[in-house]
Structure 1
Amino acid sequence: MRHATIIGNTDGIGLALTRRLLSEGWAVTGLSRRPATVEHERYVHVAADVTDPAYPQALSRALAAAGRVDLCVYAAGVGDLLDLADLAAQTRAIEVNLLGLARTAEVVVPHMLTAGGGHLVGLSSLADALITPQAPGYAASKAGMSSYLIALGATLRPRGVAVSTVRFGYVDTKMALGPVKPMMITVDRAVEVLMRCVRTRPAVVSYPRRMALLVRAAAPIVRVRARRSR
C-alpha cells in the first residue's frame, strides 16, 4: 500500500488532498498544529507545529511508525499582509513556509534515499517571482522555497527521489490575500493539479499557466517600481 505524509492538512489544499488520496487507496499520515478533521482506518494524525524545535523528532517518529514514505507533500503555509507594527508576522511566514519545508526535507529525504525512491512535493506560489510590498515575508519565503526545491531536486532525481515545486496562483482558501484575486481556482482544481503531479513527478508545475506567463512578464516591471519607490 502506498503511503503519503502530508504536512499541514487540517484545512485548505492539504485537507482536500488527504481525502483524495484516501479515496484512491493510499494510507496517509497527517501532521499539523490542530486536531484531525479526518477519520479513516488508513489515516493517522500527529499534532505538530513546524516551527517547534521538537518538530523534526515528531516527523521522524511518524515516518518510523508508517514504515515507508512514498510521497511527502509540504502544504503548511501562512501569509499576512504587511503591518509595520507587526513585522513578526512576516518573520513567521519565513519560518513556516521556508524553514518548515527545509526541516521536513531534513527528515524525509534520508528515508527516501534509504528506500531508493520517493516523491517530495512543496506547495510554493507564483509570488516567488515577484517583489510584493503587500506581503514581503510571504513572497520571500516562496522564492526561497522554490529555489531550494528545484536545486534539491536536481541533485536527488538521479538517485531515484523526485522533487516537485508546485507554484499556484490564487486558490480559494484563507491564504488568498488581497482585495483582487485574478484567475482564482477552486481547491478541488488545485487537488487535480497535484494528483497529476503525483503521477508524472515533474520538477516544476506552474498553474494557472496563463497567470504564470503574466507574472513572468510583470516581474521585471515590479522590481523596477520597487527600486524607484526607495
Structure 2
Amino acid sequence: MRQAIVIGNTDGIGLALTRRLLAEGWAVTGLSRREATLEHDRYVHVASDVTAAPYRADLARALTAAGRVDLCVYAAGVGELLDLDDLAAQTRAVEVNLVGAARTVEVVGPHLLAAGAGHLIGLSSLADALISPDAPGYAASKAGMSTYLLSLRPVLARRGVAVSTVRFGYVDTKLARGPVRPLMISVDRAVDVLMRCIDRRPAVVSYPRRMALLIAAAAPAVRLRARLSRS
C-alpha cells in the first residue's frame, strides 16, 4: 500500500487531495495546525503548526509511524493582502509558505534519501514570478519555495528522490481573494492536476497554462516598472 504525508490538509487543496488519495487506495498521514474532521481507517492525523517549535519532532514521529513514505505534499499556505498596520501577516506568510516548507524538507528529505525513493511536491503559485504590492509576503514566499525546490530537484534525483513544484493560479479556496480572480479553477480540478503530477513526477507544473503564459510575458514589465518607480 502506498503511503503519503500531506501537510496542510484540513481544508482546501490539501483536504481534497487527501480524500482523493484515500479513494485511490493510499494510506495518508495528515499534519495541520487544526484537528481533522476527516475519519478513515487508512488516515492518521497529527495536529501540528508548521511555524511552531514542536513541528519537526511531530513530523519525524509521523514519518517513523508511517514507515516507508512514497509521497510528501506540502500544501500548507497562507496569504493576506497588505495592511501597513499589520505587517506581521506578511511575515507569517513567509514563515508558513517558505520556512515551513524548508523545515519539512529538512525532516522528510533524509527519510526519502535513506529509502532511495519517493516524491516530494510543494504547492507554490504563479505569483512566484511577480512583484506584488498587494501581497508581498505571499509572492516572496512562493518565489523562495519554487527556487528552493527547483534547486533541490537535480541533487535529490541522483539519490532516487523526485521533487516537483506545482504553480497554481487562482484556485477556489479561502486564499483566492480580491475582486478579480481570472481563470480561477475548482479545487477538484487542482487535485486532478496534482494526481497527474504524482504519476509523471515533472520538475514543474504551471496551471492554468494560459495564465502561466500571461504572467511569464508580463513579469519582466512588472519588474521594470518597479525599478523605475524607485529611480
Q: Taking structure 1 as the reference length, what is the TM-score of the superposition?
A: 0.99
Specify every segment of 5 or more residues in structure 1 that has no aligned partner in the other structure, as ranges.
none
What is residue 151 of structure 1 aligned with on the other side? 151
What secondary structure is seen at the aligned counterpart in 2 of 1:98? helix
> How far apart, CA to CA, are the structure 1 residues paired with 2:42 and 2:180?
39
For 2:8, the equivalent position in structure 1 comes to 8
C-alpha separation in 1, matches of 2:68 and 2:42? 14
| Aligned position for 2:38 | 38
Amino acid at match of 2:61: R
CA distance in 2, matches of 1:179, 1:151: 35
CA distance in 1, matches of 2:89, 2:123: 20
Offset of residue 100 of structure 1:
0.2
- Indicate the percent of aligned positions where both proteins have the same amino acid: 78
Measured after TM superposition, the shift of residue 229 of structure 1 is: 2.7
- Post-superposition Cα deviations, 1:19-63, rounded to whole Å, max 9, x if no partner, equal 000000000000001110110000000000000011000000000
2:158 alignment partner, SS class: helix
AA partner of residue 180 (structure 2): V
Count of aligned positions: 230
1:110 matches 2:110: yes
Residue 179 of structure 1 and its aligned partner are, at CA, apart by: 1.3
> Is it true that 1:224 corresponds to 2:202 in the alignment?
no
Structure 1 segments of 4+ aligned residues over 3 angstroms from their partners: none
AA of the residue aligned to 1:225: R
Give the SS at the match of 1:166: strand
Distance 1:185 1:157 in 2: 31
Task: Measure, in 1, the Cα distance between the counterparts of 2:89 and 2:124.
Answer: 18
What is the SS of the residue equivalent to 1:102?
helix
Runs of 5+ in structure 2 lacking a partner? Answer: none
Distance 2:36 2:54 in 1: 19
3-state DSSP of counterpart to 1:5: strand
2:171 maps to a residue whose letter is V
Q: How does 1:65-80 map to 2 (within 5 A)?
A: 65-80=65-80
Give the letter aligned to residue 69 of structure 1: V
RMSD (Å), alpha carbons: 0.6
Within-5 A mapping of 1:12-27: 12-27=12-27
**What's the TM-score, normalizing by structure 2?**
0.98
